[in-house]
Structure 1
């Protein structure tokens, strides 16, 4: 059987599809697994051993369709489910299963604050698309594979951080999912352990501002490393403090302890840190930090560039002391 999985973006969403790949490959005899994504996210998947062939979405979708038609797929597993994937599925003309985004339920929650979403992680909902093939969740959690030539060497980080550090992910796709700069300044001052700031090139300037507060304690890695190198920084961290973003899910793939900070989005959307099946007596190695009881939250299933209400209480009222205490507890436990 030849199967095409489709998920165009983004980093975290693609990482959350990795159990589908692994379980399909291990549980369906002889399956040949292909994956279609955007070229900007190829690095997330290029070292994944469960993918037989990686396809990249081209600017002209007809070029992509022509390439895919040559493969002769038996099935398409559509984990993105939008107009472009509908066009691809129609053109390929084979059997398909599509992920239910539950957009109506999300609209009800963000607009009317009526929660009809299932109490189920998105990973388990992704896996439902292949359950008809007899595929079951193996409980192993998420995967992330780093190419051997994109790992972090000891000399790549300061000597002051080589015995252990907190990874602080300062970025996120939308401003309403990020702590404001003044709050991040307060947080890095409170943390009494070496800190490596993580994020992309867009976070570099803010990272420099934060690192200038204490250049010995705080190292700004934002924009200095590739995505896979940043993933290796996550892997080597003692704990991770992160917004609702891609590096949080990469941290969960490495089974790192996570302090997960939420602003305008909520864990009820089903995208909190996922570790798979925990051993008997083991507690989930993550903590959610959020402001409960706000009538305006969640205001969006994705995010905005500024608070629609203007007060941004979902992040301004986050308890930084709670984050500090949780970090101390996690570090002590390890």
Structure 2
């Protein structure tokens, strides 16, 4: 299958992989990756047979992919993409499946017709009925492949196991999805009786440490080395506050209630928003996440923390 480039897209492809492996234990699952981040993510998945990168080691890609014939090729993109269309033509397969749009007409043996704004977790799994596999929406929940945890992270997880803090993710993949450090600090300081944990990517590690030093109600935590480590922290949380990033999908995987900070972009919300988890979305009035006020996020946090979390929400990764 052709995997989309971003880490969040990779997370949303995991339910399809899980369901394929469950239905067909001996199936070979090959991932065609278009980014290093996506390739590394799937290399950690024991349910994936092989990961192939289109632009790295072209000779090897030609031998292992272009010179063989697969049973089924699935292009997961639901909109036109030059690279994805090119690989859909070059890769030989007995059956080629894609999502219905005018640019895919004539290139695939089967086009999946599904409402465009359907969540991508469900759109990825929409190929399963064509293979004779029936799944529920719950079975389309994302799930991360496990990996080894550093000892520091194992110790930290044991320390917070019963504390149920609230998490804030200060990282965002794009500038217009970023909420400033000053606003995160104001939010945390406005809720002095709530314990917080700060999650961040490597480029925001200094901001994470600044917040931990300046706010006594933040529990200092180890830096996370990958999404699996982040997910192990997220599953301990009472609530996660995060911009529109892959951590939204981590919350969906761990059934953790979420406050999502979004731009006014309807298709981002419907196709890539929280999946089957309680929570609330705070939409920026300016078109950039930075336009959201700390007070509006505080009100959303207070509302969610007042809700009782049923035992059925407790899900391990």
Which residues of 2 match residues 152-191 of structure 1 at below 5 A?
A: 153-156=153-156, 163-191=163-191
* Counterpart position of 1:68: 65
The answer as to whether partners of 1:78 and 1:85 remain within 8 angstroms in 2 is yes
Q: Structure 1's 87 and 61: CA in aligned 2 closer, same or farther, altered over 3 A?
A: farther
Most deviating of 70-79 and 166-175 = 70-79
* Counterpart position of 2:279: 286
Q: Structure 1's 97 and 325: CA in aligned 2 closer, same or farther, altered over 3 A?
A: same
Which residues of 2 match residues 225-244 of structure 1 at below 5 A?
A: 225-244=225-244
Normalising to structure 2: TM-score of the pair?
Answer: 0.77
Q: Structure 1's 263 and 318: CA in aligned 2 closer, same or farther, altered over 3 A?
A: farther
Q: Which runs of 5 or more structure 1 residues have no equivalent in the other structure?
A: 104-116, 276-283, 298-306
Normalising to structure 1: TM-score of the pair?
Answer: 0.74
CA distance in 1, matches of 2:102, 2:15: 20
CA distance in 2, matches of 1:285, 1:234: 14
1:122 aligns with 2:123: no
Q: Structure 1's 225 and 133: CA in aligned 2 closer, same or farther, altered over 3 A?
A: closer
One of 40, 45, 54 as aligned partner of 2:42: 45
Q: Which runs of 5 or more structure 2 residues have no equivalent in the other structure?
A: 104-114, 312-317
CA distance in 2, matches of 1:97, 1:132: 9
One of 133, 148, 154 as aligned partner of 1:135: 133
The answer as to whether partners of 1:176 and 1:264 remain within 8 angstroms in 2 is no
C-alpha deviation, 1:169, in angstroms:
0.9
CA distance in 2, matches of 1:87, 1:119: 25
CA distance in 2, matches of 1:47, 1:56: 15
1:90 aligns with 2:106: no
C-alpha deviation, 1:100, in angstroms:
5.3
Q: Structure 1's 102 and 239: CA in aligned 2 closer, same or farther, altered over 3 A?
A: farther
Most deviating of 156-165 and 191-200 = 156-165
Give the secondary-structure state (helix, strand or coil) at the position aligned to 1:88. helix
The two structures, once aligned, show a CA RMSD in angstroms of: 3.3
Q: Structure 1's 324 and 93: CA in aligned 2 closer, same or farther, altered over 3 A?
A: closer
CA distance in 1, matches of 2:221, 2:102: 38
